[in-house]
Structure 1
Amino acid sequence: MNRISNLADGLHRTHQHTGWPGAGDADPHLASIASSLSRAADLVQARQHPTAAPSRPGQLDAEAARTRLMHVLYVSSHGVRVALNPYIADLQRRSDARQSSPRGDSLVRARDARERIGAIERLAGVSLKDRWPSALAHEHRERPWPSRLEAALARWDLQAHRTLAGPPTVSNLEVIAQTQQVIVGATATIGAAGAQQGSLDAAAVERVRPALAELGDSWSALRGDLVELRGRQARVDRPLIQAGNEVQAALREITHDRAGLATPDVMSDRVDLQVAAQQLYQSLTAAVDLAHVTRDALADPELTGGARGAHLMAHASNAAQTQAAWVDAGSLHQNRDVPLPNPVRDRLAERANRIVDTAISTDSSGLSLAARTTSHRSEPSLGRREEERAWSAQEANVIARRGCER
């Protein structure tokens, strides 16, 4: 880790010295990871005993944590290195054709950065060779906090509505689509585990399964379009990212075991699957309104997207084109945010309408699973009996003294 840290510091010094790459927005996913790791470091340092040595289980848990951190570095550095390949290939093509490169771009510096990031990837890979995923077997896990999932879902629904109340952005809508897709997938997983364990009605779970699959596909399709429309201004509302991360963490605490999915036995040992399924289905009921709000945000005339993605999506629509291009050449070259062409808006509207329809269908088919169960049955109330609704003599005298308009 110290060697990787030194390499990262060297990259930072080179960036400050050369000014490459220039100022710009960070990738929202990597920025979220960096923020989470920084927060975790603050929590550990605040609670670490200055002198006491950790126990043997504590040492094994720390080793599992270091392995996970190294895996994050390995995947992140690999992703950055792969992302540099098409960028370098484009600059190389311009150089071979004796064309000028855009201002601020540098083929030499990009190649140097790729090699140095590749060194970080190789170091992390060597560290993981004999540790991943075997070191995770001794990872310490507390039982999930019983109300964590319900609190996370409520916070997410509130924050998503707050974010969409402001000017809509493609990046925020992408986070909402991704998180809703995760919630739908976890609902299906926990529902199936509950049915297998006997906590839920298997027939009801099977009845809602096709609707859940269609709803998950609908959110996934919208997210794919929004990823394509992501431009240079990929700014995400920080509270929205935090709320979405908390939902995913609360769900993974139930549905995952080390590096893979947990078995139904493990899930049922961690939480009451019936209660967890009810909380998730109730969240999908509330998400019907979120689907409508998302549709309104996608229809907002102020919504903009990346020029390249908008051009490709409009061109693929085979819509009748006027004499003017869908996107001007300057915006296309710089991938600036531009107003969405009509074919793109039509496609997003189609995606949104499908989400609304499938959300309503899922809510209807999962109504029985979302209902709270009680330990005793009670007869349905039809209101007060007739003798209880009649005025007493004392009440009648009081009304007569006050007067009555009817």
Structure 2
Amino acid sequence: MATDLRPAYADIDQELFDVDQIPMTSRDVRSVGEMLFDVDYLARQLLMDVGGDDAGTLLRSWPTMVAAAEDLWASLPGRRPGVDERDRPITSLSAQAATIESSLSGRKAWPGQGPTNPRVDQMTQTLLSAAALVRRYGAEIPHEQTEAHRDLEAARTRIMHGLYLTAHAVSVALHDNGRDRVTDARQSGRRVQLAQHHSPYAVAPTGVWVDRMTACENTARSYLNDRFAQALAGEAIRPVDDPGRLAQALANWDIQSHRALARDLAPANILLITRTQGLIAGASMVLVDAAATAGVLDPSDRLVPAIADAGRSWSNLAGRWGDLAPPGARIQEPLARAAAEVRASYRQITHDTTTLAGPEGIAGRPGLSQAVTATLRAVGAGSELAVVVAEKADNPSLTGPARALSRRAHNDVESGLATPPAEGDVVWVSPADILAKRLVPLPPPVAETLRAASDATMDAASTASSMASLHLVERAHGSTASDAKQQPAGPRPDAPQFEPVRLSGGPRR
């Protein structure tokens, strides 16, 4: 009996190419050291970005992160039997975090029950992944050897430093929350009794939490005093065992960033995308410099400035999208994982332990030629990504936290970046919306400067893309020329004729 199978194949094709149906086959290939470095990186970013509205989510996430760090600490090989003096700080920190968790449990007063912080949750998950790796392969580590012992000490230092930075970020958020409360009270005509210790803004109900987080911060700092730099000097560096790792990481990043932009309008995802594009630009400058030193790439006085300009534009745009991301906004896990692998892949080539390697050191590492080709292609692809991000900036349904948008609107007008209103000073966001911590539409100055920053990023990314593409073409022709030296002289009769290629910035939107 004949059966028409075409509808069945059509259904299979539809599922195969449906973004939501494509299974994630990529896995986390980072080492434990790379994971710990990434926790440190994420903690530093968190410290730069926190505001008062983040205080509640950060406080609720803190005990879970400490528990994950203690779990990783306990899994590290080479622990001495009985009470180990070097374990006291993490044990004390765990006890302090446990009391905070107990106080938060079932609490109706501020901060109450609610969402946790996605950035701290990401660090927590990274620590748990590192602990799973150590438990699986830790028995193979010769911890009695000097090099392994020093690397384990560096790992403990990394764990504690990540906790120290995060505790400080929570304290900063609590301080900012108290300052916002004082400001709101003064604007409404209410008197507020300022605090007499830590900070005048450590007011109720945040004051008691400032005290408790300061204790956690001091515990972590006590371990790091006179130890941080010395311990990290013994950190083992993962050798470049896969020259194609960076190319694969950048290819996966390109896929995941486009998927995130195609699905929905999430400012938190766009913040990560723009920030990672800025990181790619910065790392590309380092690799281009090293490649010129090694003779892998012809020196150019236009390529590096073009990439630098694109990096500055991406970073500026990231700051503006950061104002639109509400507290507690979640980042798509595949996107976050792809960004983490990009960071680890670049660092493997560009860094020596805690410092940036010199051009001569990077030039001697295997896979530099492949890395330069991959990073130039990523710079080239950035122009198209900038156009997609700019389209998101034109969406009239964009919203953001009231307080952040109010500050941004007034700052942009005062600095001359936005058109000043004809009627003089304007209250762009209602004080009631700020007090209620609502999400509000973008004020006109914010929308104007976001579009302007997007246009500037498009122009800069287009220029950098043109320069990167030109150097890729020159590299390809150089390789062809070197191969041709082994062939008989004279043109082949079937050789194609190439016309000059015009590299332009492309039309503006």
Instruction: Tell me the TM-score normalised to structure 1 length.
Output: 0.84
Distance 2:260 2:491 in 1: 40
The aligned residue for residue 289 of structure 2 is 192
- Answering whether residue 298 of structure 2 is matched by residue 208 of structure 1, we say no
Identity between Structure 1 and Structure 2 (%)? 33
Distance 2:150 2:328 in 1: 42
Instruction: Find 1:151's aligned residue among 248, 253, 263.
Output: 248
Instruction: Name the SS for the 1:305 alignment partner.
Output: strand
2:483 partner amino acid = H
Instruction: Name the SS for the 2:302 alignment partner.
Output: helix
- Root-mean-square deviation (Å): 2.9
Q: Offset at 1:363?
A: 1.4
Q: Say if 1:278 and 1:369, in contact at 8 Å, map to a contact too.
A: no
The aligned residue for residue 343 of structure 1 is 445
Instruction: Find 1:356's aligned residue among 458, 467, 471.
Output: 458
**Structure 2 vs 1, CA of residues 361 and 115 (structure 1 numbering), >3 Å: closer, same or farther?**
same
Distance 1:50 1:282 in 2: 39
- Answering whether residue 92 of structure 2 is matched by residue 3 of structure 1, we say yes
Q: Offset at 1:268?
A: 2.5
Instruction: Name the SS for the 1:113 alignment partner.
Output: helix
- Answering whether residue 372 of structure 2 is matched by residue 265 of structure 1, we say no
Q: Offset at 1:117?
A: 1.4
Q: Which moved more, 1:183-192 or 1:49-58?
A: 49-58
Distance 2:422 2:132 in 1: 55
2:279 partner amino acid = V
Q: Offset at 1:283?
A: 0.8
Distance 1:119 1:350 in 2: 44
Distance 2:329 2:268 in 1: 6
The aligned residue for residue 306 of structure 1 is 401
Instruction: Name the SS for the 1:4 alignment partner.
Output: helix
Q: Offset at 1:360?
A: 1.3
The aligned residue for residue 131 of structure 1 is 227
Distance 2:191 2:309 in 1: 50
Q: Which moved more, 1:2-11 or 1:254-263?
A: 254-263
Instruction: Find 1:78's aligned residue among 165, 168, 174.
Output: 168
Distance 1:77 1:51 in 2: 31
**Structure 2 vs 1, CA of residues 381 and 351 (structure 1 numbering), >3 Å: closer, same or farther?**
farther
Q: Offset at 1:51?
A: 11
The aligned residue for residue 245 of structure 1 is 340
The aligned residue for residue 104 of structure 2 is 15
**Structure 2 vs 1, CA of residues 270 and 24 (structure 1 numbering), >3 Å: closer, same or farther?**
farther
Q: Deviations over 1:280-303 (max 9, x none)?
A: 010111122111111111112232
Q: Offset at 1:239?
A: 1.6
Instruction: Find 1:367's aligned residue among 469, 474, 480.
Output: 469
1:9 partner amino acid = A
Q: Deviations over 1:45-91 (max 9, x none)?
A: 22232998654322221111111111111111112112211322444
The aligned residue for residue 421 of structure 2 is 320
Instruction: Name the SS for the 2:390 alignment partner.
Output: helix
Instruction: Name the SS for the 1:125 alignment partner.
Output: helix
The aligned residue for residue 112 of structure 1 is 208
- Answering whether residue 259 of structure 2 is matched by residue 162 of structure 1, we say yes
Distance 1:189 1:338 in 2: 41
Q: Deviations over 1:369-396 (max 9, x none)?
A: 33454351388888589xxxxxxxxxxx
Q: Offset at 1:348?
A: 1.2
Q: Which moved more, 1:339-348 or 1:88-97?
A: 88-97
Instruction: Name the SS for the 1:121 alignment partner.
Output: helix
The aligned residue for residue 175 of structure 1 is 272
Instruction: Find 2:150's aligned residue among 60, 70, 87.
Output: 60
The aligned residue for residue 140 of structure 1 is 236
Q: Deviations over 1:184-226 (max 9, x none)?
A: 0000011112222333212x2x221211121111111111212
Distance 1:319 1:118 in 2: 42
**Structure 2 vs 1, CA of residues 376 and 24 (structure 1 numbering), >3 Å: closer, same or farther?**
farther
2:155 partner amino acid = A
Q: Say if 2:243 and 2:371, in contact at 8 Å, map to a contact too.
A: no
**Structure 2 vs 1, CA of residues 298 and 54 (structure 1 numbering), >3 Å: closer, same or farther?**
farther
The aligned residue for residue 376 of structure 1 is 483
Distance 1:146 1:291 in 2: 28
2:134 partner amino acid = V
Instruction: Name the SS for the 2:440 alignment partner.
Output: strand
- Answering whether residue 49 of structure 2 is matched by residue 49 of structure 1, we say no
Distance 1:340 1:92 in 2: 25
2:338 partner amino acid = A
Instruction: Tell me the TM-score normalised to structure 2 length.
Output: 0.68
**Structure 2 vs 1, CA of residues 50 and 153 (structure 1 numbering), >3 Å: closer, same or farther?**
closer
Q: Deviations over 1:327-353 (max 9, x none)?
A: 344322233222223332221111111
Greater C-alpha radius of gyration? 1
The aligned residue for residue 399 of structure 1 is none
Structure 2 stretches of 5 or more lacking a match?
1-89, 194-201, 497-509
- Answering whether residue 392 of structure 2 is matched by residue 297 of structure 1, we say yes
Q: What is the aligned length?
A: 378
